[in-house]
Amino acid sequence: MKKRSLYSYKEEKKYRRQLRFVLIWIAVFFAIYVCFTSFLFSMRVVLSDSMQPGIHAKDRFIFSSYELYTPELQRGGVVLVDMEDQAKRDIFMEFLDKFIRFWTFQRAGASEKEEFLYLKRVIALPGDEVSMTNFVARVKKKDSPYWITEFESSERYYEVIIPQAPALWDRSLPFSGTIDSFVLGEDEYFLLSDDRSNTNDSRTWGPAPLKRIKGAALFRYWPITRIGKP
């Protein structure tokens, strides 16, 4: 009986040591995850089909974070835009949001901030002149005398969906396919959805300042069949 009790105590002690080891490593991994997603990278799930045909809802991306550094944006690149009114940061809610996303593999969160995050494509950079005809943008790059289409100016290949606009849908209506030329300011970016139908972008917001751009899409890691750059 005494031997059995000693054996059980050793097994229990071993079990507790193993449990502590696992919990410590989970805590370390979570701490690393929080640091990376707060200052270097973030992982997001696409919530809408506004970037079809190349990007679909439920695709998963790794984004750069602009908390510590601001990589140079490129025409044709895909960025994460925050259109929420800038308010005081709730550190506790941000931490809780990251905690829930960590354990749910980005399937759920603690805040409604996702409603204000949009995935858009960079069409023109500060100093560029931009216009739009039949839902296709034309760009005159800064210090260039020539107009070229958004596809010619882009550093990445992508396709867009051109809607069939009603006959009476003129340029004064939302989501118009026609925009008169204008020059972007020194801190402004012209962003569009790849699906040019009724989706919010710079046609409704106007040019986006850099402070609204929270990261650039670096890599799509899900689904496996479409892994790679957007």
pLDDT at 3 over 50: no
Considering only residues 103 and 120, tell me which one the structure prediction assigns the higher pLDDT: 120
Average pLDDT over residues 66-84: 79
18 inside domain: no
149 inside domain: yes
Partners of 115 in the β-ladder: none
14 inside domain: no
Task: Calculate the average pLDDT of the chain.
Answer: 81
Q: DSSP letters of 128-161?
A: -EEEEETTEEEEE-TT----EEHHHH-SS----B
How confident is the model at residue 86, as a pLDDT?
52
31 inside domain: no
159 inside domain: yes
Most confident of 30-34, 38-42, 207-211, 226-230: 207-211
9 inside domain: no
pTM of the model: 0.74
User: How many structural domains is the chain composed of?
Assistant: 1
pLDDT at 68 over 60: no
Residue range 147-185, pLDDT digits in tens: 999 999 998 999 999 987 665 555 555 567 888 999 999
Average pLDDT over residues 120-138: 95
132, 113, 117: which is closest to 190 by C-alpha?
132
Residue range 97-116, pLDDT digits in tens: 666 666 666 666 655 555 56
132 inside domain: yes
- Phi, psi (rounded to 5 degrees) for 210: -60, -30
Cα–Cα distance between 192 and 157 in angstroms, integer?
Answer: 15
Cα–Cα distance between 168 and 165 in angstroms, integer?
Answer: 8
| The token pair that represents 78 in the structure block | 């895909």
What range does the domain containing 175 cover? 41-226
How confident is the model at residue 193, as a pLDDT?
94
CATH of residue 189's domain is: 2.10.109.10
76 inside domain: yes
